[in-house]
Amino acid sequence: MQLGDALPSIRHPIPAAAGRSWVERLSQSECPALTTRRKRREELTGASHDPIVWVEAQGANVVDSDGNRYVDFTSGFGVAFVGHRHPEVVRAVKRQSDRLLHALGDLHPSDVKITLLEKLCTLAPWPQARAMLSLNGSDAVTAALKTAVMATGKTGVVAFAGSYHGLNYGPLAVSGFAKRFREPFEAQLQPDVHFAAWPSADLGVEAALETLPRDWSRIGAVILEPIQGRAGVRFSPPGFLEALRQACNTNGVLLIVDEIFTGVGRCGAWWRSVDEGVIPDLICAGKALGGGLPVSACIGREEVMRAWGNPDREAIHTGTFYGDPLGSAAALASIELIERDGLAQRAVDRGKLFAAMLRAEQLASVTEVRQAGMMLGLQLEGRLRALGVSRALLERGYLVLPAGAEADVIQLAPPITVNDEQLQGFVASLRAALGGS
pLDDT at 343: 99
What domains lie within the chain, and their CATH numbers?
17-72+342-433 (3.90.1150.10), 87-340 (3.40.640.10)
pLDDT > 90 in the chain, percent: 91
Q: Which of 275, 67, 258 is nearest to 177 (CA)?
A: 258
Amino acid letter, 399? L
pLDDT at 64: 99
User: Band of the pLDDT at 314, cuts 50, 70, 90?
Assistant: confident
Q: What DSSP line would sit under 75-141, residue for residue?
A: HHHHT-TT-BT-HHHHHHHHHHHTT-S--BTTTB--HHHHHHHHHHHHHSSSSSEEEEEESSHHHHH
Question: Quick check: pTM over 0.85?
Answer: yes
User: Average pLDDT in the 268-287 region?
Assistant: 99
User: For 376, left (φ over 0), alpha (ψ -120 to 50), or beta?
Assistant: beta
Distance CA 289, CA 264 (A): 6
pLDDT at 176: 96
Distance CA 340, CA 238 (A): 31
Across 41-50, 134-143, 211-220, least confident range: 41-50
Residue 159: how many CB atoms within 10 A of its CB? 24
DSSP category for residue 59: B
Considering 31-45, 130-144, 313-327, the range whose residues carry the highest mean pLDDT is 130-144
Q: Which residue has the higher pLDDT, 302 or 46?
A: 302
Residue 312 has pLDDT above 80, yes or no: no
β-pair partners for 125: none
User: Average pLDDT in the 305-330 region?
Assistant: 92
Amino acid letter, 40? R
CB 200, CB 405: distance < 8 Å:
no
Packing angle, helices 420-433 and 385-395, rounded to 10: 130
**Residue pLDDT, tens place only, 3-14:** 999 999 999 999
**Residue pLDDT, tens place only, 183-205:** 999 999 999 999 999 999 899 99
pLDDT at 437: 54
Distance CA 108, CA 118 (A): 17
Cis preceding-peptide flag for 15 (omega within 30 of 0): yes
Residue 56 has pLDDT above 80, yes or no: yes
pLDDT at 436: 64
pLDDT at 268: 98
pLDDT at 42: 82
**Residue pLDDT, tens place only, 119-174:** 999 999 999 999 999 999 999 999 999 999 999 999 999 999 999 999 999 999 99
pLDDT at 333: 99
Residue 313 has pLDDT above 80, yes or no: no
Distance CA 225, CA 290 (A): 20
Q: Which of 308, 271, 264, 261 is nearest to 411 (CA)?
A: 261
Amino acid letter, 229? G
Distance CA 118, CA 308 (A): 18
Q: If you average pLDDT over every residue of the chain, what do you get?
A: 96
**Residue pLDDT, tens place only, 66-113:** 999 999 999 999 999 999 999 999 999 999 999 999 999 889 999 999
Output the CA–CA distances (angstroms, integers) from residue 156 to 49, 123, 170, in the order listed.
40, 29, 12
Helix, coil or strand: residue 327: helix
Q: What DSSP line would sit under 163-213, residue for residue?
A: ----SSHHHHHT-BS-GGGTGGGGGGS---EEEEPPPBTTB-HHHHHTTS-
